Each structure stands twice: as C-alpha cells, then as structure tokens.
C-alpha cells in the first residue's frame, strides 16, 4: 500500500437507506481491487456516487502522467456505485471516456457519477472527473444492463461465506 492508503475512509451518506448504504460500504471494504487501485468511495446518495483516487507514482505512465486506464477505473467505479445506490447490480455494456487534461502525481481524481435514466432493464450513467481544485479533467458515460437487486445479491453472498 502506498502513502495514500488510509486518506479517504469516511464515506458520506447523502440520504441513502442505511441498510443499503452499509452493504455497499461493506462490499467496498471487502473488494481487493479498490485497495490495489486506491479508489476510495467518498459519498453515496440515491443515484449518485463520488470516488476519490489520490495519484501516486504507481498510477503514472512512462511519461509521468495519468494514463487512460486510471481515468477509466475512477469513472467506472463511481458509475458502478451510483447503480448500486439504486439497489441494482448490472453489467456495463457501453462505456465512453473523454480526457480533457492529463493529471500528474499529487492530483486527487474526484469522480462524481449520476444516474441519468433508469428503465426496467437498463441504467444510463454519466461521470465527471475533477481534481482537488475542481478543474474538470475528464467526462465519461455508460450503460448498465440490470441483473438483480444489490441487497438481495449481497445478502446471498454473505450467507454463502457464512455471515448472516
């Protein structure tokens, strides 16, 4: 773990049901990918989510800049959490990313995702990625095909691993 490992651990609940909020936060803590990538869940509301990714040397490409995959990880993470906040789990079927400016070490990528449209089988989401000075660095969008309810699926997972 880098020097940034425990900077962003207090997730703000923006009026989301406490049970759903707790399950989502628990899943974030159990997810090894987020520890490796250092994407931290910062805020959850109904249909919205914010993640923060403090850029360290391991996030830089050979030019010393943040590459496309880091932006994509930041955006997709926030977008996925915004879908979870509607008590839904889905598979991303479409993703697009527009990078406006490359970030450097010391930048905190702040991705804010918002659900634009929720149908019976599909959810459309957008995200903006800004730095800690509120400068827009990238925009993203995508679609998720709904597979199930988050709470049901996560509760089933917990039962399978022996947690009631």
pLDDT in tens, 32-75: 776 778 899 999 999 999 999 999 999 999 999 998 999 999 99
Cα distance between residue 136 and residue 99, in whole Å: 9
Give the confidence band of 4 by pLDDT, cuts at 50, 70, 90. Answer: very low
Handedness of CA 57, 78, 26, 14 (dihedral sign): positive
Domains of the chain (ranges; CATH) run 12-158 (3.10.129.10)
Q: Per the structure block, which two tokens stand in for 133?
A: 């000075």
Q: Cα–Cα distances in Å, from 93 out to 2, 14, 28, 96, 123?
A: 32, 27, 22, 11, 10
Can you tell me whether residue 101 is helix, strand or coil?
coil
Could you tell me how far CA 77 lies from the centroid of its own chain?
Answer: 2
Q: Residues 91-126: pLDDT tens digits?
A: 999 999 999 999 999 999 999 999 999 999 999 999
Q: Residue 80: which pLDDT band, with cuts at 50, 70 and 90?
A: very high
């Amino acid at each position: 773990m880098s020097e940034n490992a425990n900077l962003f651990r207090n997730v703000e609940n923006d009026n989301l049901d406490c049970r759903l909020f707790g399950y989502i936060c628990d899943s974030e803590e159990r997810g090894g990918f987020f520890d490796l990538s250092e994407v931290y869940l910062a805020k959850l509301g109904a249909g919205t989510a914010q993640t923060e990714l403090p850029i360290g040397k391991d996030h830089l490409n050979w030019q010393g800049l943040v590459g496309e995959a880091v932006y994509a990880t930041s955006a997709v993470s926030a977008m996925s959490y915004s879908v979870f906040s509607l008590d839904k789990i889905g598979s991303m079927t479409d993703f697009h990313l527009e990078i406006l400016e490359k970030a450097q070490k010391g930048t905190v990528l702040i991705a804010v995702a918002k659900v634009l449209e929720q149908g019976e089988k599909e959810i459309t989401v957008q995200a903006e990625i800004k730095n800690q000075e509120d400068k827009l660095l990238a925009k993203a969008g995508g679609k998720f095909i709904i597979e199930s309810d988050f709470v049901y699926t996560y509760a089933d997972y917990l039962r399978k691993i022996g947690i009631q």
